[in-house]
Amino acid sequence: MMFPLARNALRSLRILGIQQMRARQSHRKHSPDFHDKYGNAVLASGTTFCVVAWIFVTTQTGIKWNLSPVGRVTPKTWNNK
pLDDT computed for residue 43 by the predictor: 95
DSSP tag of 45: H
d(CA 47, CA 39): 12
Q: Is residue 32 part of a domain?
A: yes
Give the total number of structural domains in the chain: 1
Range of the domain at 52: 7-60
pTM: 0.45
Q: Is residue 53 part of a domain?
A: yes
pLDDT computed for residue 2 by the predictor: 58
Q: Is residue 2 part of a domain?
A: no
| pLDDT confidence bin for 70, thresholds 50/70/90 | confident
Q: Is residue 81 part of a domain?
A: no
CB 63 within 8 A of CB 57: yes
